[in-house]
Amino acid sequence: MHHFHYRDGRLHCEDVPLDTIADQVGTPCYVYSTATLTRHYNVLADAFDGSKYLIAYSVKACGNIGVAKTLAGLGAGADVVSGGELYKALHAGIPASRIVFSGVGKTRDELKMALDAGIHQFNVESLPEMERLSQIAADMGKVAPVAFRVNPHVDAGGHANISTGGAEHKFGIAWHEAGTFYQRARDLPGIDPVGVDVHIGSQITDISPMRIAFEKVVTLVKQLRAEGFAISRMDLGGGLGIPYKPTDNPDTPAQYAQMIREVKQGVDIELILEPGRMIAGNAGVMLATVEYVKHRDGRSFVILDSGMNDLMRPALYDAHHEILPLAEADSDTPLETVDIVGPVCESTDRFAKARSMPPLKQDDRIAFMSAGAYGAVLSSQYNARPIAAEVIVNGDVFDVIRRRPTYEEIVALESAPHWLTQQE
């Protein structure tokens, strides 16, 4: 469910025509819907009504402060994977007591920052990380609440690049080592082992693998409690998939919540959920403009002003995004088969191959649907292309929540070495 629909022949975000935003802000740009963000958060929260839970929004999915602040107002916490994301979450008004810090490579400065802030939980992924955290916490006179991310050796399916629960992946500690790690944690100063964490992948549309992984986690929680550990939290990560195509039919948040209730039946424990894509994915689109239509060797190329540096998912994951013209085509308009590509000097700068589309011409505008997650956050200034602007809509108003940088701003952090500037 989202709030992007045609009205009077124009594609709207809520009550704002997207071509109005394109006229005022330019393209490429990302547009987010407040109503969709709100609905998706509330659908998940309602599904867990009656349980002890923390919804820690995964900032890496869509890290704009405007989006995070919108979710903070609904009661969301944050799952962060860097000091920068922690800073953003705090800046957006998310209390430190609702922030979980994940990630395999936390630096000393990041650990200090999180301890100073007093975050809810550290999701620890290795023995060296635990020992580093212990030393820093003890030196600061702090106690770090810790959950170990256990690797349940469960294949989540989906694209290999977003699967994280197998033995070959860098994430988490080995399942068979969990008992040893918790015993070690009990002996270290500054460490309080309070939970168990698991995350097996992203864009999971069939929750069966999640059930297998969560059953193993519940078994581990019971075992640790029997050994005297006060395990009060079970962090189940994120990963719930969304529909990218009209034919997609992923398992729903209600089914997800019911499965978790069944798995943890009889276990009184706080649940920590880390949704990202499920909340932000269909809450955002990316707008682009057609620069040229090129015909060559029996193919037609629609060349856009947006490239893989703006929306990386098709190049990185072979991901599919529905593409809609901002001006609605008549229902009987014949479709054309085209490749939709960008201007970046890479063969992978292609958004869609042999896609059936209404006829497109120079200066037409299009929207890449379901671009709210892993869209703007993965963008770069490759080819010295300014990062796309970001806009959020609320009813019939909108605001720019990240402006497009100028060329001067792009080079402002760069300089020639002093031995060259001295010659000028």
Q: Which residues are catalytic?
A: 345
Which DSSP helix (H) or strand (E) runs through 337?
strand 336-341
CA distances from 285 to 258, 330, 367, 369, 382 (A): 30, 22, 6, 5, 21
If you ran DSSP here, which 8-state letter would residue 311 be given? Answer: -
Cβ pair 311, 30 in contact under 8 A: no
What stretches of 229-384 show up as alpha helix (H) in DSSP? 253-263, 277-280, 313-317
Q: Who's near 32: CB < 8 A, 6+ residues apart? A: 62, 64, 66, 67, 280, 283, 284, 372, 390, 391, 392, 393, 401
145's CB contacts (< 8 A; 6+ apart) are 120, 121, 122, 192, 194, 195
Mapped onto helix, strand or coil, the DSSP state of residue 384 is: helix
Q: How many CB atoms lie within 10 A of CB 354?
A: 10
The single-letter DSSP state of residue 162 is G
Give the CA angle between residues 384, 386, 390 to the nearest 5°.
Answer: 155
Would you state the structure tokens that stand for residue 112, as one six-digit string? 């200090």
Angle between helices 127-140 and 178-187 (to 10 degrees): 20
CB 387 within 8 Å of CB 379: yes
DSSP conformation class of 345: S
Rounded Cα distance between 266 and 36, Å, is 34
Q: How far apart are CA 263 and CA 108, in angstroms?
A: 37
Residue with tokens 């990302």, as numbered in its chain: 30
Cβ atoms of 93 and 69 closer than 8 Å? yes
Q: Is the peptide bond before 189 cis (omega within 30 degrees of 0)?
A: no
